[in-house]
Structure 1
Amino acid sequence: MSHILIVEDEEKIASLLADYLTKAGYQTTTMYEGTEVVSTVKNNHFDLILLDLMLPGKDGLAICREIQEFSNIAMIMVTARVDEIDRLLGLELGADDYICKPFSPREVVARVKTILKRVNPSLRSSNHTSIAEPTATLELNSENYQATINQQPVELTAIEFNLLNILARAPGRIYSRSQLIDQVYQDNRIVSERTIDSHIKKLRKKLNAIESDNELVQSVYSVGYKLVLT
């Protein structure tokens, strides 16, 4: 689980970012002022920092400079200052990205995912996934969107394939509808939870046509969905 440090003096924004990142599967730590950020980074492991530019105690640019002296940790600068000088200065200091307020929390999550995959290749999804369990063998090929169960092909749409691929990354794990939306629709379009329910319904029907004795994609009331292969 990647660990994200959120440094943001506006508590409502910090809380919102923490909620969205936690739902996306990240561990988060939040700080509201800049004085102790550098020492905290030195004494703890973080995979990425969301760093506000305007902070009490010490500003984000100074923090960025100091951290770059001893660490190559990924950083996203978050600020309401949008003039070009600040933008270029932040990136020249080694920041990986720059997000201006107001922003969509889903956009932030999408950018975090993109940067973490770039700096840590082990987080990238494999093109081919094979999961064998006592009652079913599921194979997914992301290059051609082909899926098979017990060597029988399943004709899926791109959305259905992506949903199954997400669920298959951790069989038994419950994914909320909002998590599925964030991971399937990374272009930040507005999608209702009913849309996910509709796609899941069609996916389950296709899977059940082959594996009729087992409900492979199961719903968890008021929570979301999980893949069960045992």
Structure 2
Amino acid sequence: MQSNTANAHILIVEDDSEIANLLALTIQDNGMIPTIAEDGRVMQSLLRNNSFDLIILDVMLPGEDGLSICRKIRSEKTTPIILLTALGEEIDRIVGLEVGADDYVTKPFSPREVVARVRSLLRRASYGLVTNTAQRKLRFDGWQIDPMRRQLHDPSNARIALTTTEFDLLLAFCRNPGRVITREELLSMTHSGLAGPIERSIDVHVSRLRQKIEIDPKEPALLRTVRLGGYMFTATVEEA
């Protein structure tokens, strides 16, 4: 990873050429490198031959829609994804988060707002990390989380893929074990509030995180819901 967002390579998947070109120009003006794909087919070709730091993905694409594409990308990669959508209902935004998006922007939008969200996600995806005591590896129940490399390994030492937001949430829980943390605090701890997601998005990301670390996600033992409170991480956490 780079030390800042300069020269970050951003893939824009958008069939509206006016919107795509406007985003590309704004991204370029902010020191990043944009590449445009007009549909999922072109995007797949680009992903096979290039490495991207972040993907901006329109939901309403010709052929395969953005939600389906997002689900496929997330099954293979942890690259941060921002969805562009003209859909304004809460349920539509929740679905976007459930298929693995880190954030979403509702059209019409300001290109500068999108760039601000891009920068926020890139910073969270380990840009500009500094080696200090806060970056030491942590262990819980045989699992190991590495803040510097932003990696999670299970008790068999297999690496578990997490999205940017899932990693941020787990790290926040590991640094606050045994304490009830409200959804508002989690938004602040993970810096998700900068992008303005709805509060319920925390529940969606926690649900996805449980699928990856719990023996039985329907009866979570590590990451418990506290009625009218938030969540509590019950594991004993130690420095590795």
| TM norm structure 1 | 0.52
Q: Which residue of the other structure, out of 13, 24, 34, is the alignment partner of 2:19?
A: 13
Amino acid of the structure 2 residue aligned with 1:93: V
> Within 5 A, what are the aligned runs for 1:127-206?
none
Residues 1:66 and 2:83 are matched in the alignment:
no
Q: Which residue of the other structure, out of 5, 8, 11, is the alignment partner of 1:2?
A: 8
Contact between 1:4 and 1:46, CA under 8 Å: does it hold in 2?
yes
Q: Which residue of the other structure, out of 120, 123, 132, is the alignment partner of 1:117?
A: 123
Query: Residue 85 of structure 2 aligns with which residue?
Result: 79
CA distance in 2 between counterparts of 1:48 and 1:89 reads: 20
Displacement of 1:84: 1.7
Query: Residue 103 of structure 2 aligns with which residue?
Result: 97
CA distance in 1 between counterparts of 2:48 and 2:80 reads: 14
Matched residues, number: 126
Q: Greater CA radius of gyration, 1 or 2? A: 1
CA distance in 2 between counterparts of 1:69 and 1:97 reads: 17
Deviations, residues 184-214 of structure 1 (Å, cap 9, x unaligned): xx99xxxxxxxxxxxxxxxxxxxxxxxxxxx
Displacement of 1:57: 2.0
Amino acid of the structure 2 residue aligned with 1:105: P
Residues 1:23 and 2:25 are matched in the alignment:
no
What secondary structure does 2:76 align onto? coil
CA distance in 2 between counterparts of 1:123 and 1:51 reads: 26
Displacement of 1:47: 0.3
Amino acid of the structure 2 residue aligned with 1:43: N
RMSD: 1.9
Deviations, residues 28-59 of structure 1 (Å, cap 9, x unaligned): 10011222323422331000000000001211
Contact between 1:18 and 1:30, CA under 8 Å: does it hold in 2?
yes
Displacement of 1:123: 7.0
More relative contact order, 1 or 2 (CA 8 Å, 6+ apart)? 2
Q: Percent identity?
A: 52
Query: Residue 164 of structure 2 aligns with which residue?
Result: none
Distance 1:68 1:26, change over 3 A: same
Amino acid of the structure 2 residue aligned with 1:34: G
Displacement of 1:119: 0.5
What secondary structure does 1:29 align onto? strand
CA distance in 2 between counterparts of 1:63 and 1:21 reads: 22
Amino acid of the structure 1 residue aligned with 2:100: G
Listed as ranges, the gaps of 5+ residues in structure 2 are 1-6, 131-193, 196-240
What secondary structure does 2:78 align onto? coil
Amino acid of the structure 2 residue aligned with 1:22: Q
CA distance in 1 between counterparts of 2:66 and 2:48 reads: 16
Deviations, residues 82-134 of structure 1 (Å, cap 9, x unaligned): 1222200111121111100000111011110011000023378xxxxxxxxxx
Residues 1:57 and 2:63 are matched in the alignment:
yes
CA distance in 2 between counterparts of 1:64 and 1:42 reads: 15
Amino acid of the structure 2 residue aligned with 1:122: G
CA distance in 1 between counterparts of 2:99 and 2:68 reads: 10
CA distance in 2 between counterparts of 1:83 and 1:92 reads: 15
Listed as ranges, the gaps of 5+ residues in structure 1 are 125-185, 188-230
| TM norm structure 2 | 0.50
